[in-house]
């Protein structure tokens, strides 16, 4: 019964919808609640009828919040008029203001104001917050959605088209794909971004926010990948750092955070988020305890390399069990889920400044990033194994780095974990210790990057 009455109130011998208006937009909307009659006295019937009305009333609140959020005073003014379209005299005021803007700011500004204020066009992101709430995306996906919507807005603006939902015709959608979305991005990544836009338009049509008709993104196909020109640079994709790049990065000064974070990444093979999530209690017993990560198999223990003992000792000294090992990162805001973002961005700036980069054919993203430490770790451990007598085999990799990327690995995981008992910690430690940081090639001088001494 309680759930049935959500958003409902009894008024005048019938049920009606009631949606509370947030305090921050009450002055703008002019009331503390929005109501709409449902023309029924039956509670069950009212509960079934209410949801489209609730959605429409919440859209009014979202529109008011958009007014407060916009940095464009003309757009904000137009949206205020739009909220008051049912009021007497509003259309006259819109026409009068449009003439004033034509005289002071030009015809284009006046036309854009009139179209937005009178409801002829809708800003591209006008319903975006409502859409995201409906979809229930994870924060990373939300970020990708806002990103591609921003790119679409930039392209519309550069193409001298209104940055509005109604402005996107099928021909414009196709041009955006070839002229913007595919530029500097892989076909796989562009396809994922296209999916977000297509879902947005499908939802807009389903909710009646756009006139019934064709989804301009439906059936759109990305142009076929062009064959590389004969003189194009070879692009082998993401890769490990070279030893020379490792020396350059580890011998530089990235600041207290990166100076410790880089060796931990290089000598553990952990992902950057796994490192940044480590707490003091996760660094005892000479192992890192990884509790969660990219995959289910990411939960594991990683022996602490002898070269990392001093870093761990200094970063755990005087701290509580639930303090982070890397406590010099800012708190995680509600806008994201991952703790490592600031560290990753700081590393990118440091890496570029150090001249460690690879962008064949001017691609958008470099082939090397923080994850290249993990790739380097795996490559060095593999090289040590192939030299023989290392004390570990290929299956030890799955336990240390948290991979089960093949059926073969999964069958081994079953046999070793399910039947043979616990992980062979000795083999795991042998693998970790087999990885040595490179020596600087500077004659007799031995760098601080030399092999880490055993205690």
pLDDT tens digits, 59-84 = 777 767 766 666 677 766 666 666 66
Q: Which residues pair with 324 in a beta bridge?
A: 279
CATH fold of 243-434, please?
hpI Integrase; Chain A (1.10.443)
Q: What phi, psi does 288 have (nearest 5°)?
A: -90, 125
**Cα 76 to Cα 68: distance, rounded to the nearest angstrom:** 7
**Cα 192 to Cα 188: distance, rounded to the nearest angstrom:** 7
Which of 73-87, 288-302, 346-360, 436-450 ranks highest by mean pLDDT? Answer: 346-360
pLDDT of residue 281: 96
Q: pLDDT-derived band of residue 270, with 50, 70 and 90 as boundaries?
A: very high
User: Is-contact 148 181, C-beta < 8 A?
Assistant: yes
Which of 200-214, 335-349, 365-379 ranks highest by mean pLDDT? Answer: 365-379
Q: What does the mean pLDDT of the chain come to?
A: 81
**Cα 165 to Cα 211: distance, rounded to the nearest angstrom:** 11
pLDDT of residue 404: 59
Q: What is the pLDDT of residues 38-51, one digit of tens each?
A: 889 989 888 888 88
Q: What phi, psi does 301 have (nearest 5°)?
A: -115, 140
Q: Which residues pair with 445 in a beta bridge?
A: 442
HEC states along 88-104?
CCHHHHHHHHHHHHHHH
Q: pLDDT-derived band of residue 200, with 50, 70 and 90 as boundaries?
A: very high
pLDDT of residue 233: 61
- Over range 396-403, report the average pLDDT: 83
Q: pLDDT-derived band of residue 443, with 50, 70 and 90 as boundaries?
A: very low
Q: pLDDT-derived band of residue 255, with 50, 70 and 90 as boundaries?
A: very high
- Domain residue spans in the chain? 8-117, 128-206, 243-434
């Amino acid at each position: 019964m309680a759930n049935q009455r959500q958003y409902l109130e009894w008024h005048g011998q019938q049920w009606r919808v009631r949606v509370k208006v947030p305090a921050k937009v009450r002055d703008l909307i002019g009331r503390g609640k929005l109501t709409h009659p449902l023309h029924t006295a039956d509670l069950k019937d009212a509960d079934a009828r209410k949801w489209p009305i609730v959605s429409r009333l919440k859209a009014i609140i979202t529109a008011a919040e958009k007014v407060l959020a916009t940095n464009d005073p003309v757009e904000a003014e137009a949206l205020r008029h739009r909220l008051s379209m049912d009021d007497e005299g509003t259309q006259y005021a819109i026409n009068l203001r449009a003439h004033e803007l034509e005289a002071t700011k030009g015809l284009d500004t006046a036309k854009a104001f009139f179209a937005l204020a009178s409801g002829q066009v809708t800003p591209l992101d006008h319903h975006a917050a409502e859409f995201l709430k409906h979809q229930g995306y994870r924060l990373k996906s939300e970020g990708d959605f806002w990103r591609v919507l921003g790119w679409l807005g930039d392209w519309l603006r550069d193409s001298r088209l209104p940055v509005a939902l109604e402005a996107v015709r099928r021909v414009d959608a196709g041009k955006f794909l070839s002229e913007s979305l595919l530029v500097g991005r892989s076909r796989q990544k562009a396809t994922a971004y296209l999916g977000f836009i297509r879902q947005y338009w499908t939802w807009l049509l389903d909710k009646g926010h756009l006139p019934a008709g064709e989804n301009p993104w439906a059936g759109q196909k990305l142009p076929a990948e062009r064959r590389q020109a004969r003189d194009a640079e070879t692009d082998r994709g993401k890769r490990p750092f070279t030893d020379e790049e490792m020396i350059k990065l580890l011998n530089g000064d990235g600041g207290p955070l990166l100076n410790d974070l880089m060796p931990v990444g290089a000598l553990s093979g952990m992902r950057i988020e796994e490192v940044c999530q480590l707490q003091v209690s996760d660094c005892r017993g000479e192992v890192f305890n990884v509790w969660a990560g990219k995959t289910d198999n990411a939960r594991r223990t990683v022996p602490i390399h002898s070269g990392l003992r001093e870093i761990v000792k200094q970063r755990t000294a005087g701290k509580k069990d639930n303090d982070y090992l890397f406590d010099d990162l800012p708190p995680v805001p509600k806008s994201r889920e991952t703790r490592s973002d600031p560290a990753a961005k700081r590393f990118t700036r440091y890496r570029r400044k150090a001249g460690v980069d690879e962008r064949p054919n001017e691609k958008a993203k470099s082939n090397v990033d923080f994850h290249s430490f993990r790739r380097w770790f795996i490559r060095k451990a593999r090289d040590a194994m192939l030299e023989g007598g290392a004390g570990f085999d290929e299956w030890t990799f799955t336990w240390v780095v948290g991979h089960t990327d093949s059926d073969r690995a999964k069958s081994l995981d079953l046999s070793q974990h399910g039947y043979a008992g616990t992980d062979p910690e000795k083999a795991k430690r042998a693998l970790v210790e087999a990885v040595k940081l490179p020596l600087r090639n500077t004659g007799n001088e031995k760098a601080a990057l030399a092999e880490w001494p055993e205690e």
